[in-house]
Structure 1
């Protein structure tokens, strides 16, 4: 019996030694849009076999290509003294499908855009075909681009806010899923931004401001947007106006909440500004 226990323990030690070494990600800060990293992203890791597969699938790129066509995440896997064909190198692997290899004398940047790369990274290389066509609209200038993951499928989706260069109060919002145009809508206001730091089930908030002739903000609208059954919709929104209070006689912000479910594509803000309860164009 003692001999059986001894050999069983030795077998267990052997199994533990055979377990692949796991390199875990370190997430620092947040995305450039202000979006925070998710628990899934914080748990990202790679094995030695994964890394060797990534290197074999990758091709050398430059820093400019990384900037324009690859997502940059706050999550990186830093590996010191990794053995590649008998040579020790340091690796800096970003969750956006690109990595740096340093051998002590030079830095090589690799991009992994093969379809097989998707299973190793948080986000794949961006498909710029449809977005490039969008950005080239002659009368529009891109104001902001936001990276999101609507379906938690490790595929980077994009929301682009563009402003009409001739009609400054016209903004276009375009949403791309898997590189394909999923949604677009025009908004009329003086400024428009998205807030991705949300807490109540929405996927983002649209923040709109209206200004007077002197550039002072007198009206704000916050629109929480939800996604259900592949449809964007709104259940409530918040309108704030700056003016003289009937109670105090002072200038102050007065905020009102409106509740009425409608599809985002049918949202009629003109009616909201007039105080009409009918949000829908249809």
Structure 2
């Protein structure tokens, strides 16, 4: 009996792995930006991020390049990369655009609202409350992002969602300014009101509720920046080192190929 030839490795699948790593790194970094893990003016050190991902700098550099194109990061003349500096004008401008686009998405989501969506939003609100009770601000921001995008995805628009993601890549770093803000409880209350309007399929009411939520957050960000900047500057002087990217949780999901909810 002749021995059957051994099956050759499937070479077609081999090139996919680097592409998957590129996508995972980008997904994790973009989620981190939208969830406030980076702050205005923060340097993005590619080799440090690559070390956290346990990968070469190449996929990180590609992810950063994409985020620069989407205005989440900026390139400096010395080839360094950082988050854009704080700008009250930018916060106001993003707020105006968010009111239009995210307000419309919430209006459509109310028309499509189901008990399943309401159940998911209440679960995410409970997660926010639990994280707030443990002073886990990163957890609060992660749940906040998941809460908002559950609503926007329910709008059922493949065109609108990428626009919102681009807005959040720009506004996300500003959310970190609200760490320790006394109005955190008010934001949770506003999320409850949004859920109620969605449950009633009250489109105009849901749009008005999320518009108030977006507006008050923008006002709080602008008012909080001077104090936050002063504290950050003092901490940097004491440590004599720049703040590093707080993306450990997102790195873990990238390595496993899953994205945080």
TM-score where L is the length of structure 1: 0.19
Larger strand share, 1 or 2: 1
Higher relative contact order (CA 8 A, sep 6+): 2
TM-score where L is the length of structure 2: 0.20
Q: Which has the larger radius of gyration?
A: 1
